[in-house]
Amino acid sequence: MSVFDKAKAKAEELLGRATEVYGESHGDAAAEVAGEARRLEGEADEEAAERADQQRRHPDDDGLAGAR
């Protein structure tokens, strides 16, 4: 995942959190739920990017084995 994709995922997460906070503060349940969904999607994209980076650095490491 490129730097731009990572930045986009972080921006989605932050925008989702802002929408979620707006919904909480204004009593807008729809905005709160939409913001939470957007935030979670951004977090998932960030985690996927991190896993992909780790796989590129250590392609033989499946993450299940202990320290060698």
Residue 6 corresponds to which amino acid? K
Kindly indicate the confidence band of residue 50, based on its pLDDT and cuts at 50, 70 and 90.
Answer: confident
Tell me what the pLDDT averaged over the chain comes to: 86
Q: Which helix (H) or strand (E) holds 61?
A: none
- Exposed e or buried b per residue across 50-60, where buried means at least 16 C-beta atoms within 10 angstroms of its C-beta: eeeeeeeeeee
Domain ranges of the chain: 3-57
Q: Considering just the CA atoms, what is the radius of gyration of the chain in Å?
A: 16
Tens digit of pLDDT for each residue in 10-30?
A: 999 999 999 999 999 999 999
pLDDT band at 41 (very low <50, low <70, confident <90, very high): very high
Stretch 40-51: mean pLDDT: 90
Task: Identify the residue with better confidence: 10 or 53.
Answer: 10
What per-residue confidence (pLDDT) applies to 31?
96
Give yes or no for a contact between 54 and 45, defined as CB atoms under 8 angstroms apart. Answer: no
